Chain A
Amino acid sequence: MNAVTPLDGAKADGVDNIVSRFAVPAIRCAGCISKIENGLAGEQNILSARVNFSTKQVAVSHLPSLREDTIKHKIEQLGFDAQILADNPLAEEKGGTDKLIRALAVAGFGMMNIMLLSVSVWSGAMGTTRDLFHWISALIAIPVIGYSGRPFFSSAFMALRYGRTNMDVPITIGIILATGLSLFETMTSGAHAYFESVVMLIFFLLAGRVLDGMMRDRAREGISALLKQTAPGAMVLDEDGKTRWVASKELRADMRMMVAAGDNLAADGVIEKGASNFDFALMTGESEPQHKMSGDLVLAGTLNLTAPVTVRITAAGEDTSLSDIARLMDEAGQQRSFYVRVADKAARYYAPAVHSLALLAFVYWMLAGVGWHQSLLISVAVLIITCPCALGLAVPAAQVVASGALLRKGVMIKDGSALERLAEADRVLFDKTGTLTLGRPVPLNLDHLSIPQKQVALALAQASSHPVSKGIRNALLAGDITPANLDAVEEVPGEGMSASWDDIRVALGKPVKVADHLSCQLTIGDEHFAIELQDDIRPDAVSAIDRLNRLGLPGTIISGDNAASVAKISRAVGLTAQASASPQDKLHLISKLSASGHKVLMVGDGLNDGPALAAAHVSIAPGSASDVGQQAADAVFTSDSFLPVALAVQTAQRTMQIVRQNFVLAIGYNILAVPLALTGMVTPLIAAIAMSLSSLIVVGNALRLNGAAK
């Protein structure tokens, strides 16, 4: 009803329109949806706009002539901050869950219909009716098993090809044997066919996989909405002086790009014209801007703060230093791919045990002389009854409930293995700037200034996008100050802001680092005032660190900042600290701790933490972290408060506790059911009841995690 229709339906189909995506985190109500959709649909060259409220994204279908940054501008004019979303680097497996859901739907359809027929058989259908029902069951079951069983078959095949076993190997063997035997029973008018057990097994196991996949997708979508994106492209200056927009991946060395103040650099290069301050936070994690002028090297991903510059590109795309660091992180993260998920670890012992048990049963009954048919029937019953339903469903069910509970507290866990590793961590390392602190300088002594002085300071700070200016501006705006009227406001790169106020020269000098905090000078005429700024510690940091300690994770600060600043924070939160640490130092400390048997949790944000985040056993980054930090981390928390870090660890530990309980429940159920199967007393009816009952108990137990993140 309120879907936005294309301006001209026929045209929309005829022209090659492009769909661009934008992250708009500020979408919070129905009003925002209609404001954006109606606002954009009215524009020329835009065919349609569709808001996705769940992912806070806008998909805009437009003509190729319209550039992405123009649309971004239009969304901003509507009053929403927007980020251009390039191809999302985290979404590579997006189709995986959809495939699983389809398989689950087919298995559900098959299960219900076969169960309908099986119930009639169990309640006493005899002779031809029973045979007919078995045949119909077979006709439904075989295509369903073929379609829905594929995820297990292919995974088991892969594992066997590399000479390993995983959970899917016993499942696949069980499915194939049970189907084959049921088919044989059907053909020879046997009394029992196990089709419903097989399809039910597939259904429950798929339900576990779907839960696992949905949890991963949800977290990834949340994180991709936070990614700040290195610039999607740049304005390139051609030989003839014309400018055109070139996407990042088409930038080449020796092109000249014009970078406006407030833009991210899309490639590495050397400044040809102009001078400006650059925010290297993505590289160093420190928000203090660096002054660069003609001839200096600037790097992709850094933010041009103050003045427009022309940059001759020296390296683009894969060759930038940003990509180098990404590669370094890939290598550091390699060892993590050797991590074995808890369910597979259990399957390693479980599968051989179950297989030998079934084999033993077969051999025993053969020796007892009941004939190969009866013996095979019994060993298949053993396989079906022991099939690792609880392993397949219990682990993801517990993890998905836990990650849902954490999501409500603002923590996004990327996948189930992250929760498992988080529960194992026994040491924690914190970065300082942006992690333990908010990464935003806040002025301390503004109360000394008179109202007119504050107004001048606000007017000066407003005109700059320097982090210190932003801090001063936010503090003054919060105090209901209105800016003074200034003339000739000018930002001198590397020096600060200056202007004239009723013919008095006023200036806001560049910040200077004084031992443990920043200080900048406000000049009005001949008077000078020092504004002291401090990067505040995150709220709840002390209590969170205390909680982590009680959970068995003693912490240490490791920071690239100078000793005085680090000492101040470490005193405030009561932790030991190592200052002036390079990214290599952090990496070194982690490998030293790992070598001595510790499992390290790394909490950090900057690009300089990237390798450490990737190398640590498990890592958490704040939502304000650089893209690189968020992609390297296993979990991202979005709040200002530091408490979510402790909550994540606590919930992970609780989850593993529940998972262990579920294992005990599953094994307990097997201890009861396996003797029945071994003695040949398990009919398909008993198998079906036992399977659904054990699955329900295990899922019910997992649901207790709902309130775990407190």
Chain B
Amino acid sequence: MSGLAILIPVALLMGLSGLAFFFWAMRNGQFEDLDGAAQRVLIDDEAQAAAAQDDDKMDKNHDKA
């Protein structure tokens, strides 16, 4: 029984923090561009240095898409 005094507040707190996190994510625009997030994984950071080379590769990607 006395365990409940701890467990229920803990459960509520965890639920609330999840809710707060979701609200933050919404306000932060995390759900604005779901398809974009999937695409951005494919962008090479290093490739920006060798832009010319990269353009070539991207054009190929473009054709495929």
Q: Considering the complex, which residues of chain B in the window 6-65 have a beta carbon less than 8 Å from any beta carbon of chain A?
A: 8, 11-12, 15-16, 18-19, 22-23, 26, 32-36, 39-43, 45, 47-48, 51, 55, 57-59, 61-62, 64-65
Whether A2 lies near B43 (C-beta < 8 A) is: yes
Contacts between the two chains (Cβ within 8 Å), count: 76
Residues of A within 8 A of B35 (CB): 53-54
A140 touches B23 (CB 8 A): no
How many B residues, CB 8 Å from partner? 33
Docked-complex contact A105 and B11, CB < 8 angstroms? no
Distance A19 CA – B47 CA, assembled complex (angstroms) = 28
Within A332-387, the residues touching B (CB, 8 Å) are: none
Across-interface contacts of B18 in A (CB, < 8 A): 109
Q: Does A514 contact B (CB under 8 A)?
A: no
Q: How far is the CA of A140 from the CA of B58 in the complex (A)?
A: 53
Q: Does the CB pair B42–A30 fall under 8 Å?
A: yes
Q: Which residue on A lies nearest to B36, using beta carbons?
A: A53
Chain A residues with CB under 8 Å of B62's CB are 28-29, 31-32
Alpha-carbon distance between A129 and B4 when the two chains are bound, in angstroms = 10
Tally chain A residues at the interface, Cβ within 8 Å: 29
B33 touches A102 (CB 8 A): no
State the Cβ distance, A217 to closest chain B Cβ, in Å. Answer: 11
Q: Which residues of B contact A106 (CB under 8 A)?
A: 19
Scan residues 1-30 of chain A and give those whose CB is less than 8 A from a CB of chain B: 1-2, 28-30
Contact with B along A80-105 (1 / 0, CB 8 A): 00000000000000000010011001
Q: Which residues of B contact A29 (CB under 8 A)?
A: 39, 42, 58, 61-62, 64-65
A173 an interface residue at 8 Å Cβ cutoff? Answer: no
CA distance A1 to B59 in the complex (A): 22
A2-B43, A29-B58, A54-B35 known; A34 vs B48 contact (CB < 8 Å):
yes
Contacts of A112 in B (CB 8 A): 15
Take A33-B40, A136-B8 as given contacts and tell me if A113 and B15 are in contact as well, using a CB distance cutoff of 8 Å.
Answer: yes
Q: Kindly provide the distance from the CB of B3 to the nearest chain A CB, expressed in whole angstroms.
A: 12
- Given known A28-B65, A136-B8, contact A53–B26 (CB-CB < 8 A): no
User: Given the known A-B contacts A29-B65, A34-B48, A101-B26, are A113 and B33 also in contact in the complex, defined by CB atoms under 8 Å?
Assistant: no
CB distance from A664 to the nearest CB of B (A): 35
Q: Which residues of A contact B41 (CB under 8 A)?
A: 30
The residue on A at minimum CB distance from B18 is: A109
> Could you mark each residue 109-127 of chain A with 1 if its beta carbon is under 8 Å from any beta carbon of chain B, else 0?
1001100110000000000
Could you give, for residues 455-481 of chain A, a 1 whenever the CB lies within 8 Å of some chain B CB and a 0 otherwise? 000000000000000000000000000
Assess whether A51 is interfacial by the CB under 8 Å rule.
yes
Instruction: Assess the B40–A35 pair: CB atoms within 8 A.
Output: no
Q: A98-B26, A113-B12 are in contact. Are A31 and B61 (CB under 8 A)?
A: yes
Q: Please name all residues of chain B whose beta carbon is closer than 8 Å to the beta carbon of A101 when the two chains form the complex.
A: 26
Known contacts A35-B58, A52-B32, A140-B12; A109/B19 CB under 8 A: yes
Given contacts A33-B36, A136-B8, 17 further A-B contacts (CB under 8 A): A2-B40, A28-B62, A29-B65, A31-B59, A34-B58, A35-B55, A52-B32, A53-B36, A53-B40, A54-B33, A54-B34, A98-B26, A102-B23, A102-B26, A105-B19, A109-B19, A113-B15
> Can you list 7 pairs linking A and B with CB atoms under 8 Å apart?
A29-B39, A29-B64, A29-B65, A33-B39, A54-B36, A106-B19, A109-B15
